[in-house]
Structure 1
């Protein structure tokens, strides 16, 4: 009887590899996309492992509806168990083996609601990148004609407005500059719309709304934490959540001697960046005598640079966020 299955997902062709209680192969099969759910509907409940990648949360949700226990696993934890040449069947076999290991950390299956708000975050990030690219393009092109603008976005826009009203460039150049600047304004309108969507979502979600009470946490960070972290129960502690975000020091330990380096920078870069930016806001509040943790921040500031203090506070903040999410999810609120 198959009790553990590794499923290698793709766009069209899926590969299934299963073993019994003794680790003996009992299942090895290729499936077309449209046949996957009907195939698993015929199997008794089993532990199914899937690499965390595009569409993995969708398949995790669908297979759980069929009564299976589904675990998403990061690709880096699968690679050590790939014993032969890389192909779809060997990948499925490696997944099947990896999910049996007791010390492997799994990835939470995201709900549709979480994926919806993350989509808004991703599209918003793309618009910000596009706006930055357009502003740099305007500055670069006009520098070729002897006009140099400030790097700060708001200051550059102000200087650009003055330039558009008084310059000696040809109509062709001005037409292109006007078109580029109009594109910048369109992207800013889109970003503002995404901000409103995220703010409305954060204030309507019970956990995200509670996270907003922390210093340095706005709608962007609160919604991103709730949507990205998923089920807080997959983390044993706040420190593990902080480590998952890459906010703890890297260890270099041997022979009983422990050395710590820079933060690991593992996990979600976007969420880690939001937390560190929020921590910088807390440092600014602290310098003005405001904030709940002013004493803690100022004490650390006496011996450490502000950048180090910001990262340290971001790690502290991650632990507080996990504690609040864990409390609410245990109480059945979300």
Structure 2
């Protein structure tokens, strides 16, 4: 291990496969260990660079190994796949991680803090509850429609569901099913409201999240998710890199010196992209009350492009602005093109 400068780890639930290389790329380590053995191994090993795929458990392991004095890097799985040779197994994956990490132009993922992971988990739970609530509302609408009861579209009408049931003659057992769904809907709504309050409390303690709220159209949910996923923004070379990472830049298919730009690539975190587009649409709905250079740009774009194209372009601007706030520790000023402290 004394000649090992780079170690790739193929993460698992209970077992981990290690592949080590020297500075010249020669294999110096090939080992399978348990979680306890892994920590014991790196606790006594000479400081080196440890690389893992960015996946479940990788951020916690990165913090743990970093505390032991090692330099830890996380790499996106999509950048590791091209380096997997021949048949796939865990040791081959660990070797491919080393090969990918050794590339000079490789891009890495910044490990998340415990607070960022917690906030990210809150968002995933909230998203799950929202999807369940939509499914519950659709079931209520569908079941009632099977018995000839047509309700207006949306969840607002669910509040007066008891009145609707009393006005129509339905089988008692079907009424019981609808009431169960109604109770489940109210439970989900309460849980979503509690999660929103928890996000608000965490956002109030987060300086970056508070500064993100200065961007027009950006609310607490978008700001907290950006804060959790972006961090300090140092993993991106610039604002365009961050916008590209969430799929808000044109997909390129160029050859022979001829540039061909298509629609947005839709890569990366689709939740962040969706929220930023929703923020852009919310800003555009109140455009008559907006002032400044940004508002004038949006008005000018709407005279030449479809509103959906303008929404994506504005979401791109919001993404770039968010990166600038993270990288330069500034706040957004709508009346100028620069950010001020």
Q: Where does residue 289 of structure 2 map in the other structure?
A: 289
Q: Where does residue 194 of structure 1 map in the other structure?
A: 195
For 2:129, which of 127, 130, 136 is the aligned residue? 127
Contact 2:231/2:326 (8 A) holds in 1: no
Q: Where does residue 112 of structure 1 map in the other structure?
A: 114
Within 5 Å, give how 1:175-254 maps onto structure 2.
175-254=176-255
Q: Is the partner of 1:27 in helix, strand or coil? A: strand
CA separation in 2, counterparts of 1:56 and 1:172?
49
How far does residue 122 in structure 1 lie from its aligned partner after superposition? 0.7
How far does residue 12 in structure 1 lie from its aligned partner after superposition? 0.6
Contact 1:57/1:109 (8 A) holds in 2: yes
Matched, 1:15 2:17: yes
Within 5 Å, give how 1:78-93 maps onto structure 2.
78-93=80-95
Within 5 Å, give how 1:19-34 maps onto structure 2.
19-34=21-36
CA separation in 1, counterparts of 2:10 and 2:231?
22
- CA deviation vs aligned residue, 1:223-269 (integer Å, no higher than 9, x gap): 10010112311111101110111100000100100010011111111
Contact 1:248/1:263 (8 A) holds in 2: yes
- CA deviation vs aligned residue, 1:38-79 (integer Å, no higher than 9, x gap): 111111111111001111101111110111111111111000
How far does residue 129 in structure 1 lie from its aligned partner after superposition? 0.7
Q: TM-score, normalised by structure 2?
A: 0.93
Q: Where does residue 76 of structure 1 map in the other structure?
A: 78
Deviates most, 197-206 or 238-247: 197-206
- CA deviation vs aligned residue, 1:174-227 (integer Å, no higher than 9, x gap): 111111101101100111111111112112211111110110111111110010
How far does residue 291 in structure 1 lie from its aligned partner after superposition? 4.5
Q: Where does residue 138 of structure 2 map in the other structure?
A: 136
Cα root mean square deviation, aligned: 1.2
Q: TM-score, normalised by structure 1?
A: 0.95
CA separation in 2, counterparts of 1:131 and 1:238?
35
Q: Where does residue 263 of structure 1 map in the other structure?
A: 264
* Gap regions ≥5 residues in structure 1: 330-334
